[in-house]
Amino acid sequence: MDASAFGRRFLFGVNVMYMLKTSADFDSAHFLFGYNGKCANIHGHHWVIEVMINSEALVQNGEKRGMVIDFGNLKHEVRALADSFDHSLIFESGTLKNKTLEALREEKFSLIEVMFRPTAENFARHFYYILKEKGLPIKSVAVYETPDNCAVYEEG
Protein backbone atom coordinates (compact mmCIF):
# COMPACT_ATOMS: atom_id res chain seq x y z
CA MET A 1 0.00 0.00 0.00
CA ASP A 2 1.37 3.45 -0.79
CA ALA A 3 2.12 5.82 2.11
CA SER A 4 -0.84 8.12 1.50
CA ALA A 5 -3.26 5.17 1.42
CA PHE A 6 -1.75 3.81 4.63
CA GLY A 7 -2.05 7.20 6.31
CA ARG A 8 -5.72 7.62 5.36
CA ARG A 9 -6.55 4.11 6.53
CA PHE A 10 -4.65 4.47 9.80
CA LEU A 11 -5.92 7.96 10.66
CA PHE A 12 -9.44 7.92 9.30
CA GLY A 13 -10.38 4.23 8.95
CA VAL A 14 -10.97 4.79 5.24
CA ASN A 15 -10.61 1.77 2.96
CA VAL A 16 -8.64 3.08 -0.02
CA MET A 17 -8.97 1.27 -3.33
CA TYR A 18 -7.88 2.11 -6.84
CA MET A 19 -10.02 0.61 -9.59
CA LEU A 20 -9.53 0.33 -13.34
CA LYS A 21 -12.20 -0.74 -15.78
CA THR A 22 -12.02 -1.77 -19.41
CA SER A 23 -14.21 -3.69 -21.81
CA ALA A 24 -14.13 -5.62 -25.05
CA ASP A 25 -16.89 -7.12 -27.16
CA PHE A 26 -17.54 -10.08 -29.40
CA ASP A 27 -20.35 -11.58 -31.46
CA SER A 28 -21.32 -15.21 -31.08
CA ALA A 29 -24.20 -17.63 -31.02
CA HIS A 30 -25.35 -20.01 -28.33
CA PHE A 31 -28.42 -21.85 -27.13
CA LEU A 32 -29.67 -23.07 -23.77
CA PHE A 33 -30.20 -26.82 -23.92
CA GLY A 34 -33.24 -27.92 -21.92
CA TYR A 35 -34.62 -24.40 -21.61
CA ASN A 36 -38.35 -23.97 -22.21
CA GLY A 37 -38.43 -20.78 -24.28
CA LYS A 38 -36.92 -18.89 -27.20
CA CYS A 39 -33.36 -19.25 -25.89
CA ALA A 40 -33.52 -23.01 -26.54
CA ASN A 41 -32.94 -22.10 -30.20
CA ILE A 42 -29.59 -21.03 -31.58
CA HIS A 43 -29.41 -17.24 -31.43
CA GLY A 44 -26.73 -14.60 -31.34
CA HIS A 45 -25.60 -11.78 -29.10
CA HIS A 46 -23.24 -8.86 -29.24
CA TRP A 47 -21.57 -9.71 -25.93
CA VAL A 48 -19.60 -7.15 -23.92
CA ILE A 49 -17.09 -8.19 -21.27
CA GLU A 50 -16.51 -5.44 -18.71
CA VAL A 51 -13.61 -6.05 -16.35
CA MET A 52 -12.88 -4.19 -13.12
CA ILE A 53 -9.53 -4.62 -11.38
CA ASN A 54 -8.54 -3.16 -8.04
CA SER A 55 -5.58 -2.51 -5.82
CA GLU A 56 -4.91 -0.81 -2.51
CA ALA A 57 -1.58 0.45 -3.81
CA LEU A 58 0.06 1.91 -6.87
CA VAL A 59 3.38 0.81 -8.31
CA GLN A 60 6.02 2.88 -6.52
CA ASN A 61 9.01 2.63 -8.87
CA GLY A 62 9.98 2.33 -12.49
CA GLU A 63 8.12 3.17 -15.64
CA LYS A 64 4.77 2.05 -14.17
CA ARG A 65 5.12 4.30 -11.11
CA GLY A 66 1.75 5.75 -10.14
CA MET A 67 -0.23 2.98 -11.91
CA VAL A 68 -2.15 -0.06 -10.72
CA ILE A 69 -1.00 -1.78 -13.91
CA ASP A 70 -0.42 -0.63 -17.46
CA PHE A 71 -3.83 -0.06 -19.08
CA GLY A 72 -2.37 -1.41 -22.32
CA ASN A 73 -1.68 -4.78 -20.69
CA LEU A 74 -5.17 -4.93 -19.18
CA LYS A 75 -6.84 -4.00 -22.47
CA HIS A 76 -4.72 -6.54 -24.36
CA GLU A 77 -5.76 -9.44 -22.09
CA VAL A 78 -9.46 -8.56 -22.17
CA ARG A 79 -9.40 -8.02 -25.95
CA ALA A 80 -7.63 -11.36 -26.51
CA LEU A 81 -10.25 -13.10 -24.38
CA ALA A 82 -13.11 -11.53 -26.36
CA ASP A 83 -11.42 -12.34 -29.67
CA SER A 84 -11.10 -16.00 -28.68
CA PHE A 85 -14.93 -16.27 -28.57
CA ASP A 86 -15.73 -14.03 -31.55
CA HIS A 87 -17.94 -15.33 -34.37
CA SER A 88 -18.34 -18.80 -32.88
CA LEU A 89 -21.12 -21.11 -31.85
CA ILE A 90 -20.65 -21.66 -28.13
CA PHE A 91 -22.30 -24.82 -26.82
CA GLU A 92 -22.41 -26.85 -23.64
CA SER A 93 -20.62 -30.17 -23.74
CA GLY A 94 -23.01 -33.06 -24.44
CA THR A 95 -25.84 -30.94 -25.86
CA LEU A 96 -25.28 -31.51 -29.60
CA LYS A 97 -25.52 -34.86 -31.35
CA ASN A 98 -22.32 -36.25 -32.84
CA LYS A 99 -23.87 -36.06 -36.34
CA THR A 100 -24.59 -32.37 -35.82
CA LEU A 101 -21.06 -31.68 -34.62
CA GLU A 102 -19.57 -33.62 -37.54
CA ALA A 103 -21.65 -31.62 -40.02
CA LEU A 104 -20.74 -28.28 -38.43
CA ARG A 105 -17.06 -29.20 -38.36
CA GLU A 106 -17.20 -30.39 -41.97
CA GLU A 107 -18.58 -26.95 -42.88
CA LYS A 108 -15.62 -25.43 -40.95
CA PHE A 109 -17.81 -23.54 -38.49
CA SER A 110 -16.03 -22.12 -35.45
CA LEU A 111 -17.26 -24.12 -32.46
CA ILE A 112 -16.43 -23.59 -28.80
CA GLU A 113 -17.42 -26.33 -26.40
CA VAL A 114 -17.74 -25.29 -22.75
CA MET A 115 -18.34 -27.40 -19.65
CA PHE A 116 -21.16 -25.15 -18.43
CA ARG A 117 -24.50 -23.83 -19.65
CA PRO A 118 -23.55 -20.78 -21.76
CA THR A 119 -25.41 -18.12 -19.79
CA ALA A 120 -24.18 -14.61 -19.06
CA GLU A 121 -23.85 -15.60 -15.39
CA ASN A 122 -21.60 -18.55 -16.18
CA PHE A 123 -19.56 -16.56 -18.71
CA ALA A 124 -18.94 -13.86 -16.09
CA ARG A 125 -17.54 -16.47 -13.68
CA HIS A 126 -15.58 -18.24 -16.46
CA PHE A 127 -13.96 -15.02 -17.70
CA TYR A 128 -13.20 -13.95 -14.11
CA TYR A 129 -11.12 -17.07 -13.53
CA ILE A 130 -9.39 -16.93 -16.91
CA LEU A 131 -8.21 -13.39 -16.18
CA LYS A 132 -7.37 -14.16 -12.55
CA GLU A 133 -5.14 -17.05 -13.71
CA LYS A 134 -3.24 -14.50 -15.83
CA GLY A 135 -2.33 -12.70 -12.61
CA LEU A 136 -4.68 -9.74 -12.95
CA PRO A 137 -6.08 -8.30 -9.68
CA ILE A 138 -9.68 -8.96 -10.72
CA LYS A 139 -12.47 -7.36 -8.70
CA SER A 140 -15.39 -8.21 -10.97
CA VAL A 141 -16.42 -9.23 -14.45
CA ALA A 142 -19.71 -8.15 -16.01
CA VAL A 143 -21.00 -9.84 -19.16
CA TYR A 144 -23.64 -8.01 -21.18
CA GLU A 145 -25.69 -10.07 -23.61
CA THR A 146 -27.78 -7.00 -24.50
CA PRO A 147 -27.08 -3.31 -23.88
CA ASP A 148 -29.50 -3.36 -20.92
CA ASN A 149 -28.87 -6.79 -19.37
CA CYS A 150 -25.74 -8.10 -17.75
CA ALA A 151 -24.54 -10.59 -15.19
CA VAL A 152 -21.74 -9.72 -12.76
CA TYR A 153 -19.38 -12.10 -10.96
CA GLU A 154 -17.14 -11.06 -8.10
CA GLU A 155 -15.77 -12.76 -5.04
CA GLY A 156 -15.79 -11.67 -1.57
Cα separations (Å) of 63 from 42, 66, 85, 146? 48, 9, 33, 38
- Active site includes 46? no
Give pTM, 2 decimals. Answer: 0.88
Render pLDDT for 21-32 as a digit per residue (tens, 0 to 9).
999 999 999 999
Report whether pLDDT(9) > 80. Answer: no
Say what the pLDDT of residue 16 is.
Answer: 74
Say what the pLDDT of residue 109 is.
Answer: 98
Can you tell me the distance from the alpha carbon of 135 to that of 115, in angstroms, rounded to the nearest whole number?
Answer: 23
Report whether pLDDT(4) > 90. Answer: no
Question: To 10 degrees, the CA torsion angle through 83, 84, 88, 94?
Answer: -160
Can you tell me the distance from the alpha carbon of 46 to that of 145, in angstroms, rounded to the nearest whole number?
Answer: 6
CA 78, 84, 87, 92 torsion: positive or negative?
Answer: negative
Can you tell me the distance from the alpha carbon of 142 to that of 131, in angstroms, rounded to the nearest whole number?
Answer: 13
Residue 54 belongs to what H/E stretch? strand 43-55
Say what the pLDDT of residue 151 is.
Answer: 98
Render pLDDT for 91-141 as a digit per residue (tens, 0 to 9).
999 999 999 999 999 999 999 999 999 999 999 999 999 999 999 999 999
Per annotation, catalytic residue among 50, 77, 92, 145: 145
Buried b or exposed e, range 117-136, using 16+ CB within 10 angstroms: bbbbebbbbbbbebbeeeeb
Per annotation, catalytic residue among 76, 87, 102, 155: 87
Say what the pLDDT of residue 6 is.
Answer: 55
Render pLDDT for 55-69 as a digit per residue (tens, 0 to 9).
998 989 999 898 999
Per annotation, catalytic residue among 39, 56, 121, 154: 39
- Active site includes 145? yes
Domain 18-154 has CATH 2.60.40.1290: no
Render pLDDT for 36-90 as a digit per residue (tens, 0 to 9).
999 999 999 999 999 999 999 898 999 989 899 999 999 999 999 999 999 999 9
What are the boundaries of each domain within the chain?
A: 18-154
Say what the pLDDT of residue 77 is.
Answer: 97
